């Protein structure tokens, strides 16, 4: 049996919304059409995917498994389409993703020297999509900051760099040569706490049931705006702090945080001479 990717996309929309009406609006189709497509998928898979009543829609165990497997399947399909479209243009191209604070200029020049006529494109990534751009085909390789989910990827270490605390310029710790993570225990962290487990484990605001975790900051620029406004602090790699300087914030090394690991990642299933050459260049 061949799985219809359109039905899978419909299923994912319902699974993420847990509401057929909202999913139909998201997909720009009529709700009865969506319901028929999901029922058809259930018949093809011989499995019930949702439990529905008048008040709620919930995933079954089979539905949860399908959702877990569907996302990489759809990302692979999108990646295939993007690569084929690029190949159909008739000129070789190569897309590199990179995180804030990292530069790829020298590596791009070296790759171009090896492959004259190659078109190189760049994609700036964030913590949220630094590996997603590989799975969905937006990038051939990505310079990532660990940790990342390694499933389906080849990950090659490049270098390490220290992490610093970004503080408002009038902060009590501003001007210190360095601080420890315990010095920051009473601060409000603008990172996801899971990204700095050393802080999370001693954080006053989490142990006392105080302010909730900060979410929704998709860029370093957003974090710096909130730091400057006195709404919290951020922990960032040294190169990021040096690249995004501004007069109303200051950076202090955190002496007892492990360094940030920068690595090159690509889809493990890819067998590309360009990927091999780029990996050789950046890890030399």
State how far the Cα of 184 lies from the Cα of 186, in Å rounded to an integer: 6
Q: In this prediction, what percent of the chain has a pLDDT beyond 70?
A: 94
Residue 1 pLDDT grade (very low, low, confident, very high; cuts 50, 70, 90): low
In whole angstroms, give the CA distance from residue 254 to residue 235: 9
Band (pLDDT 50/70/90 cuts) for residue 170 is very high
Between 60-74, 78-92, 241-255, 269-283, the lowest mean confidence (pLDDT) is in 78-92
Are 5-80 and 163-258 in the same CATH fold? no
Q: Is pLDDT of 52 > 60?
A: yes
Question: What's the fold here for domain 163-258?
Answer: D-Maltodextrin-Binding Protein; domain 2 (3.40.190)
pTM check: above 0.85? no
Fold for domain 5-80?
Answer: Arc Repressor Mutant, subunit A (1.10.10)
CATH for 91-153+265-282 is 3.40.190.10
Nearest to 98 by CA among 64, 46, 139: 139
State in Å, rounded, how far the first CA of the chain is from the last one: 46
Q: Where are the beta strands (DSSP E) in the chain?
A: 50-52, 57-59, 93-98, 119-124, 141-145, 153-161, 163-168, 234-237, 249-253, 260-267
Using 50, 70 and 90 to split pLDDT, how confident is the model at 74?
confident
Model confidence pLDDT, tens digit, residues 188-245: 999 888 889 999 999 998 886 655 555 556 688 999 999 999 999 999 999 999 999 9
- For a pLDDT cut of 90, what percent of the chain falls above it? 64
> Which pLDDT score is estimated for 161?
95
Domain boundaries, the chain: 5-80, 91-153+265-282, 163-258
| Cβ–Cβ < 8 Å for 258, 145 | no
């Amino acid at each position: 049996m061949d799985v219809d990717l359109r039905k899978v996309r419909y299923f994912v929309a319902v699974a993420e919304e847990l509401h057929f009406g909202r999913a139909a609006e998201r997909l720009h189709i009529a709700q009865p059409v969506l319901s028929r497509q999901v029922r058809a998928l259930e018949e093809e898979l011989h499995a019930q995917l949702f439990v529905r009543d008048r008040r709620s829609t919930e995933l079954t165990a089979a539905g949860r498994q399908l959702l877990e497997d569907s996302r990489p399947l759809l990302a692979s399909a999108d990646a295939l389409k993007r690569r084929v479209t690029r190949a159909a243009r008739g000129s070789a191209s190569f897309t590199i993703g990179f995180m804030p604070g990292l530069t790829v200029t020298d590596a791009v020049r070296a790759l171009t020297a090896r492959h004259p006529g190659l078109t190189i494109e760049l994609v700036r990534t964030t913590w949220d999509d630094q590996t997603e751009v590989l799975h969905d085909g937006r990038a051939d390789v990505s310079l990532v900051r660990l940790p990342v989910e390694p499933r389906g990827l080849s990950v090659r270490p490049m270098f390490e760099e220290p992490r610093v605390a970004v503080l408002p310029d009038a902060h009590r710790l501003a001007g210190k040569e360095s601080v420890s993570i315990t010095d920051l225990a009473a601060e409000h962290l603008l990172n996801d706490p899971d990204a700095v487990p050393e802080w999370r484990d001693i954080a006053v605001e989490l142990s006392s049931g105080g302010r909730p975790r900060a979410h929704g900051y998709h860029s370093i620029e957003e974090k710096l705006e909130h730091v400057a406004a006195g709404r919290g602090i951020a922990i960032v790699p040294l190169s990021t702090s040096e690249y995004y300087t501004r007069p109303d914030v200051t950076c202090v090394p955190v002496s007892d945080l492990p360094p940030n690991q920068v690595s090159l990642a690509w889809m493990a299933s890819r067998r590309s001479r360009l990927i091999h050459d780029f990996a050789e260049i950046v890890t030399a």
